[in-house]
Every structure is written in structure tokens, then in C-alpha cells.
Structure 1
Amino acid sequence: MLPDSISSRAVLIGTSKYDRLPELPGVEGNIRSLSTLLQDRDLCGLPPEHCVAVLNPETPSEMVDPIAEAAEEAKDVLFVYFAGHGLPHSTGNSLYLGCVGSDRKRMYRSVAYDHIRDELRESSAKRIIVVLDCCYSGRALNTMSSADDATESLAESAAVYGTYLMASTAENKTAAAGSEFTVFTGQLIDLIDQGIEGEGEFLTVDAIFDATRVALEEQGFPTPLRREKGYGADLAIFRNRAYFPSKKNVPNYGRILKQEGSQWFPDRRSLHDLRVHRPLQAGICGTADNGGAESIVVSGGYKDDEDYGDVIIYTGHGGRDPNTKQQVEDQKLTDTGNAALIQSVLTGMPVRVIRGAGGRPEHSPTTGYSYDGLFVVKQYWMTPSLDGPRVLKFRLEKLSDSTEGASPHHLSRPLTSGLWAQVAPGEYTDRLLEERVKRIYSHACQVCDETLEIPAGLRFASVVHIKSIELPHRGPDIAENMLCLCSNHRDLFVYGALIIDDDLTVIDQRDDEEMGVLTVKHEIDPTFIKYHREHHRVKVSRF
């Protein structure tokens, strides 16, 4: 499982400009690209406010303060990265990291790594990853320099117990001025962005390092080093884009393409090859069992479709005569594609929308197909079609992070990000994780064991955080802090009418009666149960 995005932090620091040392222009590209990868929901998914980038710190405090703040806030994973000049002290092996005003003769203008290490030691983060892409002397203008001392001493001096350290070799001779990235970080970025063939669904820290080391050695560059002090080699930190399970039709939600905005494709095969829309004929991709629809194609195939740009009224599948294209039968809720879209209403998972040339001209390409972003399915209903028989209609609304210029009168309410639901400013919850918890219980309430169903036979339930993730509680967004409940018991639990004893007995505080024992099929942290109880209990004497 990837790091918890709510309780993890990343600090990226790079110094590309110097007053008294050679400039390192590739460092700026390092910071920009690593920040993008860490925030990519398909790879790691850190919220922007949890990924701090510091470019060209003028003073030591501008470098250390963000690290100290992140070290204090991080509870799961803390990721610290530095790129720039590294300077050795003349009287020992201590490492100093360069600021804009660094001077070899005045080491106090640089940051002693010992100060950063002290901050890391004080952190309550479970795991710490440090990546140092730095030299410690300058050999030529616009080149990351080397020294006669071995990088071994650098790596050893930087190690902290509980930390996985990656250190680029001191002899990084090819990170020249004008390059997009420095060599070591450029290789890291490429592997994270493209994925590593042969690895699993997630990339561990060790797997990324090993692949980077091999790639640099094959290209004739010196070997980087790593140090692990008691933890972290098998920590999964990114999803692997090169991983494709043996099962061909594995579901894939959210944004697939790297670049933002509308993108054109000549045919359905090209959509299939890039997994934007996998079926070569069907207009709906996905199943209810796997969480809902992944993508749809709007291309004028159904005359009942309505396309307003930011809002689409999409017609379900089935009931047409294959020759005349007339609607001759009522559509069925249980049709695979229709059931998938109904499930999308319940889960809130984002749906990729592709428009074909046969659609409404003002929103469709003149030829081929265009990928036009992520939408959410807000509601569905049945209504007579233009031909008479009843059809399913689905209302899709474009996500708020891609709705610039949207027509406000079409939107029922502000929308949040597709795979992440914003529950409060700066607080997010993982929809995929919630769905996994619901499936453990087959959508049955852990309090009453009842399931709620809609006419299509699909079940729905709510997931609540035992210790709220909102301020001031700041509970983690992890399965151990979640319950699967029906709508009634969700509200009763959230507002404190229901509390849970240490032996998992559910207490209704309205009449002080025991309702039975909580059904438990996944690990629940008892400290969260206790926290909720102590913040809501009315009759102190019972406990």
C-alpha cells in the first residue's frame, strides 16, 4: 500500500543559482518534475499542500525550516530531497548543503546536514526517505563536481536510523548547465514516470534505486549509493505504470494520459492501446463489480443523448434494433454497462469521457475521437425515448479541477477531485480505499448487518472515519480508522448517539442500551474507538 497521503509529507529543496559557486540549471527541472510525480494521483497522490518545493533558498533557515515543519507534521512517511552543491568541511567529513549565498571559505552560509539529521531524528514519521543529489566540491563551471574523497563517507554521515538514504555519486560529471535534469535525478524521474517492467503494482524504494543504479552503470556513469538504517527498503512509494497484470481487463480509474486537457485520437484502436477506453466497440467500459464505469464514448450513437459541454445527459445501453438503430425495447438496469454507470453514482468514482466525430458539433472533433477529461455520474433515471420505449439517462458533470468556463446553471453543486473526495479544506479521503472496506462487508452495516439495495440489485453503504480526519481531530485516512455503516447508523455514529466499548459492544446513548457486538472483518485500531467514545460519551459511569 502507498503512503497515507494525509499523514505523509514531502519537502523538495533545490539550489540552482549561486553567488559564489557554479550554477546548476538542471536542478530546477528536478524540483518541478518530482513535485508533479509526487502529486500525481495515479502515482503517489500527495495533496499539493503536503508537498513543499523550495527553490534557491537564500539562507540556511529557508532550507531547514520547511524540513522541520514537515518532520513535525508527518506521521506516516516523510520524504526529503535536496539537489545542488554539497560541500565538505575542511576539518572533517561533515556534509554541508549549498544555499544561494554559500561560500567555501564561510561554511556558516551553508546548511550542515547534521542540523537536518537532528530534525529527522525528532520526527514521529514511521518511515523517512532522504534523497541527496549533490556534490561536495566544484571542478568546472556548470558541472556538478567531484572530489577525491569517496561518496561512501557522505552516505554514512547522512544516515539516520529509520531512514532510507539515496546519495548520488560525487562524480556526477554530466549534470551540465542547460540540461533538463541532473543525471541522477533525471534517471529517477524517468523510471518513476515510465514505470519499471518486471516489478509489481507498486514501486518500492529499493526497486527504484536498483533500477537507477543499473541504468547509470550501463550508461557509464558512476554508481550511486544507498543506506538503510533499520527500515524502509520495501516501502512502496509509487504505483508502477509498467505493471500490467495477466488479467487483461483490469479496471483503471481516473486520468490515464500524462498531459492535461483535450487530446485527439484517430480511431478506437489508439484509445484502446493507451487504455483510455479499452473496448473497441462498446460505448461503456467497466463493470459494477469492479467499482463502476471507467470511461464512456459520446459519439451520437443514441439520439437521446444531450451534450452541453460541461454536463452530459448520456443514454444507457441496449434496446436498439441493430439495423435501423431505432429504440425498440426498454433498456434494462441490469445491462453490464448500465449497471456500471449506476454503480458510479454510488461510488463517485471519476469517468473518462471521450467524444467522437458523430456527436454534437460544438463539443466534438471533426474526425476521430477526443479525450475530454474526467466527469462524475451524479444521478440516473428512466424516461420514454424519442422512439417510445424507455431508456436510462445518466447526468455526468465535469470535475471542478477541469471546469474552467463551465456553465454554472448546469452544475448541481461544486465538485471535488475524482479519486479523492475533499471533506474539508485541506482534508481528503481516498474513495478507492473506502470501496475496498465496503466490499469486505458486502456493503452490510457493521452495526445492524443490514444491506441497502436499489432496483438494479446494487448495494450501497457509507464509510465513516472513527476518529474524524477533519480539524482538530486529524485522524488518518486508513482502513484501520474506518467503519462500513448504513445511512442511519452512519449519522448516529458521527453525531455521537452511538459509541463503541473496548469489547466492541455498540452502545446507544439515547437510552443507554447495548445494541450488540460490532461486526468486524478487518483490522480496526482500538485507539480510534477509544478516541471517538471519549469525545462523545454522555454517561461516564459506564466506562
Structure 2
Amino acid sequence: MQAGCHRKWAAGIDGNRNDGAAAIVLSGGYEDDEDLGDEILYTGAGGNDPNTGKQIEDQSWENPGNAGLRLSMNQGLPVRVFRGYTHKSKFSPQSGYVYAGLYSVVDAWQETGKSGFKICRFRLLYIGQNEERKTPESIELDYSNRDKERKGTVILRIVRDTKIAHDIKELYDYKCQVCQFTIITKSGKYAEGAHIRPLGKPHDGDDNPNNVLCLCPNHHVMFDKGLFSIQDNLKLIGNVSGELFVHHKHKLNTLNLQYHRKINGYN
């Protein structure tokens, strides 16, 4: 606070739902935090006992700090990260606080924490310019069930195996399973393959047809952001009503549907 880098006294998140999150501090206050250096699995604010670090009640997306981090994720706003001496990590200082650099919030979900209460989790990746550290483009996602392929473009990035998504889109003739709309471009029909249970850690979803939907861009973003989810009977819940259309040759894994509902607060 004295340096003007973090403006919330005794709070881990400097942010709100209108402006996003400017900074976070890792100070050992939450037992579910995981600090991997260039990757951080950060526990949101609220519901913990400040003396023990254990959760004593559920966290909520309505918390201003949690809402701020979600806005930063949605708008691609960088977040300053600090580590304090009470944070148990090999990256923490022996005393005081240290600036860890700029990070990007790339994922947000809910899960049950170690103490049995719902917590808001955020995945942050380092995006600073220090050449001794990895850049976001060099941090590989872990596709545990399929091979990875690297290709060089302007930057080095992970290229997903798109054959499964392509086959699903072909099955639906590029028609969104939610709105039944097909986008016609100058180069042909367009739709997107959406994974129900996200790929990569910490979700570890499988790149399998039973985990892929054919969606238009709008409903893909809405689904990924948790604005709606799908019940086991294929009824849509949340900000979208109706029923998911499923081709008789397309078998969905209901465990993935249950996982999507759980991390987005529908259970």
C-alpha cells in the first residue's frame, strides 16, 4: 500500500466488479492456494478463518474481489501479483513482500476445498518479460489423453488436434446445438467445437467426442463462461432456456455435464 501497488488493507484481492482486479497478494491465508511459480491456482476471497486459514463457509462470485478477478479474465486485463513472507512457497521472500510480476487470469471455476466448503478458484499465468522465465506461449497445457503438436506462427503456441471437433461439426452440419443456427461465411459454414469439461490442468478433460459440442461462437463463449449449463436430461439451465439438441450418433458423457455444472455453481 505504501508503494501504491495494492490498495486494499488486509485483503488479498485489490479489485471490484466494475474495474477488475489490479493486484493480488499470496500471503498464506488460504489453504487451497497452489503456487507453481509461473502458474498459480489462487483461492478467491471470503469464508476463511484468518487465524487458521481454513474455510468456515462457502465463497461466492458476488464477493467484490472474486467478481473483479472474473472481469479481468473476461477482458484480458493483467493482474499484479505479490508474495508475502507468510506464504509458504519457495518463491516467497524471507521477510516483507516481493513483486512477482504481471499475470493473466485464464480460468475461473468453483470446487469444494480441503475444508469441505465451496471455493472460487482462479488460474493465473505469468506474462512478464523477464527472459529467465517462461512466457505464456511456452507454458504447455497438459492434454493427458491426446498428443500435442507445436507449430510456429508469429508466436509459439499449442495447436489442438481438431479432428474430433471437425467430425462433430460435420455431424451437425455446423448447426449450433443450442440455437440451431448455422453461420454462413464466404468460405463456407462455420461453427466451433466446445469442450464440456475443459482440457488441461486442473480440469483434465478428455479430447473425446463425448466431451465435445458443436456451438456457435456466442453460445461457445457463454458456455465456457458458465452463463448456462446442461442437465443430464439435456435441459438448459442458467441464462439460456430450452433443450440441447443431440444427434442420435452423438453420445455425451453425463459425468462431464455434471462437472461443468459443479464448477460453474449449478449444483
TM normalised by structure 1 equals: 0.25
Deviation at 1:327, TM superposition (A): 0.8
Alignment partner of 1:283 out of 12, 22, 44: 12
Counterpart Cα distance in 2 of 1:376 and 1:304: 19
Supply the AA of the counterpart residue of 1:306. E
State the identity as a percent.
43
**Superposition pairs for residues 20-35 of structure 1, below 5 Å?**
none
SS of 2:102's partner is: strand
Deviation at 1:487, TM superposition (A): 4.5
Counterpart Cα distance in 2 of 1:409 and 1:300: 28
Question: For the structure 1 residues 411 and 393, does the alpha-carbon distance in structure 2 shift closer, same or farther, using more than 3 Å as the test?
Answer: farther
**Superposition pairs for residues 31-430 of structure 1, below 5 Å?**
272-290=1-19, 292-399=20-127, 401-402=129-130, 404-406=132-134, 410-412=139-141
Deviation at 1:412, TM superposition (A): 3.9
SS of 1:395's partner is: strand
Size of the alignment, in residue pairs? 148
Gaps of 5+ in 1: 1-271, 414-423, 427-485, 490-543
Name whichever structure is richer in helix by fraction. Answer: 1
Counterpart Cα distance in 2 of 1:274 and 1:400: 20
Supply the AA of the counterpart residue of 1:379. D
Supply the AA of the counterpart residue of 1:285. D
Supply the AA of the counterpart residue of 1:289. N
Moved over 2 A (4+): 321-326, 400-413, 486-489
SS of 1:361's partner is: coil
Counterpart Cα distance in 2 of 1:300 and 1:321: 12
Match of 1:245 in 2: none
Deviation at 1:325, TM superposition (A): 3.6
SS of 1:297's partner is: strand
Supply the AA of the counterpart residue of 1:374. L
Preserved CA contact (<8 Å) 1:328 1:389: yes
Supply the AA of the counterpart residue of 2:100. D
Cα-to-partner distance string for 1:26-84 (whole Å, 9 max, x where unaligned): xxxxxxxxxxxxxxxxxxxxxxxxxxxxxxxxxxxxxxxxxxxxxxxxxxxxxxxxxxx
Question: For the structure 1 residues 369 and 323, does the alpha-carbon distance in structure 2 shift closer, same or farther, using more than 3 Å as the test?
Answer: closer
Counterpart Cα distance in 2 of 1:409 and 1:399: 11
Gaps of 5+ in 2: 143-152, 156-215, 220-267
Preserved CA contact (<8 Å) 1:373 1:402: no
* Aligned-CA RMSD value: 2.8
Counterpart Cα distance in 2 of 1:378 and 1:425: 21
Supply the AA of the counterpart residue of 1:307. D
Deviation at 1:283, TM superposition (A): 0.7
Preserved CA contact (<8 Å) 2:13 2:25: yes
Deviation at 1:402, TM superposition (A): 3.3
Match of 2:173 in 1: none
Deviation at 1:374, TM superposition (A): 0.2
Deviation at 1:311, TM superposition (A): 0.5
